[in-house]
Amino acid sequence: MSKLTGWWKNRSSAAKVELYTRWSFHFFVLLESCAVFFGLVPQGPDLVTGALLLPLCAQIALCGVVSSKALDWVLGRRERPVRLAAALLALTAVLSVAVLVLRSFGAVSHAGVAPTLAVNTVAFAAGSLTLVLTRVRHMLCVAPAAGAAAAAVALAVGHPAGEAAGYGVGVLLTCGLLVLACGFSAWLLKTVYELDRARELQAQLAVAEERLRFGRDLHDVMGRNLAVIALKSELAVQLARRERPEAVDQMIEVQRIARESQREVRDVVRGYREADLTVELEGARGVLSAAGMDCRVEVRAGRALRPEVQSALGWVVREATTNVLRHGDARSCVISLTAPESGALTLVVENDGAPEVLAGPPGSGLAGLRERLAALDGALEAGPVGDGRFRLTARIPGGQGRGPEARA
């Protein structure tokens, strides 16, 4: 069953919307084909039916091609299909005029054949041509223009005024419906992809901001000390050239500042690598909720946690949150922390929308978490648990999770 549904589950939200939109336009092609077929049935197999069938099939196929290529243009994957759109417009106009002329001269004997063919041909072509337009006001003019043109042509070829008005109203209503559906579908698809790219950009900006913060902290720590080391080293060189004993004192001072700088750098890196569990849990809730997921955080703690345990679990929460955002298409996520007064401490992060088979080789994030937990005699388990759910479980033995007062 997973193989049958994996082609859908393994897609992102934007890709699912695109697939749905494309198949909707394929369905329009099938719908127009059925409308043309059943429209020609009352006419029967005669010369007129044979003459109309081939160009009608070409027009239907061209509608599908224009819709597909126009969607690629909307997503920025190819150039705007102007020539194909012009060919579709010309072919639709010729077919519609031909059907009305044949009906006017009596070649189309059945009264319902001409309206069915003319209205459906113009309406589905208008829906495809809407995707090629760039401005909303131009899209809004498609249905009125098509209706007016149909009524004018019907009057010009000799149809009664009432019948011509019927053609105009029929084309106006059907075109309006399809123009609205096609235009909204294109706008929705473009918006979904823009939101997807914005989320990726937001993640990249967050990483860049963290790098800048680390670089700024490191510059603040090292900038002054390196300047002092350079000045004192230069002074020591000058004193040594003069054979002054103060040069030794200056080099001792340089050595002291260098050791102090090394300690300060370690403090900066340690602060950069440490993660606060409470902050990470709230951050995970906020980030996942902002991404449109139903995130629930459950904490059942009966004891205090040591700082190193909080730091390790905070990194587990951070990495798990990143994986939920990057992989799969989660709609809900549950983060559960259980710390009883005695026994093992357990952190579980479970989400839906996970692919059955992970694409590509495993990353280094989980390996790094296992190393952090191994220092506390802990363990990490991660993998699919069925029904498209993914579970990450971190366990730390009871003795490692106790606070200082409990250990005493």
Give tens-digit pLDDT for 328-351. Answer: 678 899 999 998 877 789 999 999
Distance CA 152, CA 156 (A): 6
Residue ending a domain, choose from 134, 167, 199: 199
Counting residues of the chain whose pLDDT is more than 90, the rounded percentage is 37
Structure tokens at 258: 């260098």
Q: Is 37 found in the same domain as 64? A: yes
* Burial class of 226 by CB neighbour count within 10 A (0 to 12, 13 to 18, 19+): middle
Confirm whether 177 is domain-assigned.
yes
Q: Is 241 found in the same domain as 127? A: no
Q: Is 144 found in the same domain as 24? A: yes
Structure tokens at 210: 């963290």
Confirm whether 5 is domain-assigned.
no
Confirm whether 341 is domain-assigned.
yes
Q: Is 73 found in the same domain as 173? A: yes
Q: How confident is the model at residue 275 (pLDDT cuts 50, 70, 90)?
A: low
- The whole model's pTM is what? 0.60
Query: What is the CA angle 20-26-29, rounded to 5?
Result: 150
Q: Is 178 found in the same domain as 104? A: yes
Q: Parallel, antiparallel, or unpaired: how do β-strands 332-339 and 294-301 relate?
A: parallel
Read off φ and ψ for residue 54, nearest 5 degrees: -65, -50
Q: How confident is the model at residue 408 (pLDDT cuts 50, 70, 90)?
A: very low
Counting residues of the chain whose pLDDT is more than 70, the rounded percentage is 88
Confirm whether 319 is domain-assigned.
yes
Which residues make beta-bridge pairs with 386? Answer: 389
360: left (phi over 0), alpha (psi -120 to 50) or beta: left
CATH assignment at residue 318: 3.30.565.10
Confirm whether 76 is domain-assigned.
yes
Confirm whether 207 is domain-assigned.
no
* Each residue's pLDDT tens digit, 347-397: 999 998 877 666 555 556 788 788 888 888 999 999 888 888 899 999 998
Distance CA 80, CA 74 (A): 8
Q: Is 315 found in the same domain as 186? A: no
Residue ending a domain, choose from 199, 223, 256: 199
Q: Is 349 found in the same domain as 219? A: no
Q: Is 324 found in the same domain as 378? A: yes
Q: Is 283 found in the same domain as 262? A: no
* Burial class of 4 by CB neighbour count within 10 A (0 to 12, 13 to 18, 19+): exposed
Structure tokens at 17: 């919307």
Q: Is 70 found in the same domain as 177? A: yes
Question: Nearest to residue 380, comparing CAs of 369, 391, 388, 389?
Answer: 369
How many domains does the structure of the chain reveal? 3
Confirm whether 205 is domain-assigned.
no
* Each residue's pLDDT tens digit, 170-197: 999 999 999 999 999 999 999 999 988 8
The three-state (H, E, C) secondary structure of the chain, written as one string: CHHHHHHHHCCCHHHHHHHHHHHHHHHHHHHHHHHHHHHHHHHCCCHHHHHHHHHHHHHHHHHHHHHHHHHHHHCCCCCCCHHHHHHHHHHHHHHHHHHHHHHHCCCCCCCCHHHHHHHHHHHHHHHHHHCCCCCHHHHHHHHHHHHHHHHHHHHHCCCCHHHHHHHHHHHHHHHHHHHHHHHHHHHHHHHHHHHHHHHHHHHHHHHHHHHHHHHHHHHHHHHHHHHHHHHHHHHHHHHHHCCCCHHHHHHHHHHHHHHHHHHHHHHHHHHHHCCCHHHHHHHHHHHHHHCCCEEEEEEEECCCCCHHHHHHHHHHHHHHHHHHHHCCCCCEEEEEEEECCCCCEEEEEEECCCCCCCCCCCCCHHHHHHHHHHCCCCEEEEEEEECCEEEEEEEECHHHHCCHHHHC
Q: Is 351 found in the same domain as 307? A: yes
Residue ending a domain, choose from 273, 290, 313: 273
Q: Is 233 found in the same domain as 169? A: no
Write down the mean pLDDT value for the chain: 84
The whole-number average pLDDT for the span 62-83 is 94
Give the amino acid at 192.
V
Q: What per-residue confidence (pLDDT) applies to 87?
A: 96
CATH assignment at residue 257: 1.20.5
Confirm whether 325 is domain-assigned.
yes
Find the domain containing 306 and state its range: 277-407
